[in-house]
């Protein structure tokens, strides 16, 4: 599954893997499945997406200052990638991270994405523990920001609420040196 978005992003959103009925069918990350609803709506509110809904790969939606990539490139069984699949796909993520020199913030959607970024950067997990909203300084110019994944399970159980995700996206914009639109600012 190819990544999608700005060719020189300041924010790189790292997801888990293509969804069977979403990205795998449509050819665009987080498109056509439930997880994309909250993601693209929040990107639109942040001024990073040209529209609030991603319906298909040819719907005209564009991203500015943001790009989306998955830790695993193909649909994993039961949407749960095995450690071997994550390791097998990690060189692709590492190569993309090396090519994207403008990235200031890696927004990791879930623990798998968090761990995959660390692996791709050659960093140890023990020094960078995952927690929703946690910030990790990776070097002088880049950081990683953790969020629970915007999956149907996490949003329906309210483990991740729209307000929580909006706050994380606002912080990603701040860390990337981008303006935080009023739509993302806390009341």
> Whole-model pTM above 0.85?
yes
Average pLDDT in the 19-43 region? 82
Give CA–CA dist 145/131, Å, rounded. 9
pLDDT of residue 155: 93
Compute the distance between CA of residue 37 and CA of residue 53 in angstroms, rounded to an integer.
Answer: 7
Determine the Cα–Cα distance for residues 83 and 63; give it in Å rounded to an integer: 30
90 pLDDT band, cuts 50/70/90, is very high
| Dist. CA 72–CA 172, nearest whole Å | 22
Q: What is the mean pLDDT of residues 170-176?
A: 97
Coil, strand or helix at 67: strand
Quick one: 20 exposed, middle or buried, by C-beta within 10 A (0-12, 13-18, 19+)? middle
Q: Is the pLDDT of residue 89 over 80?
A: yes
Is the pLDDT confidence value at 67 over 70?
yes
Structural domains of the chain, ranges and CATH numbers in brackets: 4-184 (3.40.470.10)
Q: Is 4 helix (H, G, I), strand (E, B) or coil?
A: strand
Structure tokens at 25: 């069918």
What is the mean predicted confidence (pLDDT) over 49-55?
A: 94
């Amino acid at each position: 599954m190819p990544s999608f978005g700005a060719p020189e992003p300041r924010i790189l959103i790292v997801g888990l893997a293509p969804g069977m009925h979403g990205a795998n069918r449509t050819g665009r990350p987080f498109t056509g499945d439930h997880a994309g609803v909250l993601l693209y709506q929040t990107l639109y509110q942040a001024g990073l997406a040209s529209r609030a809904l991603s319906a298909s790969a040819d719907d005209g939606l564009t991203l500015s200052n943001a790009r989306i990539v998955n830790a695993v490139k193909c649909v994993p069984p039961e949407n749960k990638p095995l450690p071997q699949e994550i390791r097998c796909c990690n060189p692709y993520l590492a190569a993309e991270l090396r090519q994207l020199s403008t990235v200031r913030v890696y927004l990791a959607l879930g623990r798998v994405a968090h761990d995959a970024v660390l692996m791709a950067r050659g960093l140890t997990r023990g020094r960078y523990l995952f927690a929703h909203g946690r910030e990790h300084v990776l070097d002088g110019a880049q950081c990683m920001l953790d969020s629970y994944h915007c999956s149907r399970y996490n949003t329906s159980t309210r483990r991740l609420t729209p307000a929580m995700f909006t706050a994380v996206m606002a912080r990603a914009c701040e860390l990337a040196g981008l303006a935080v639109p009023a739509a993302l600012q806390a009341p």
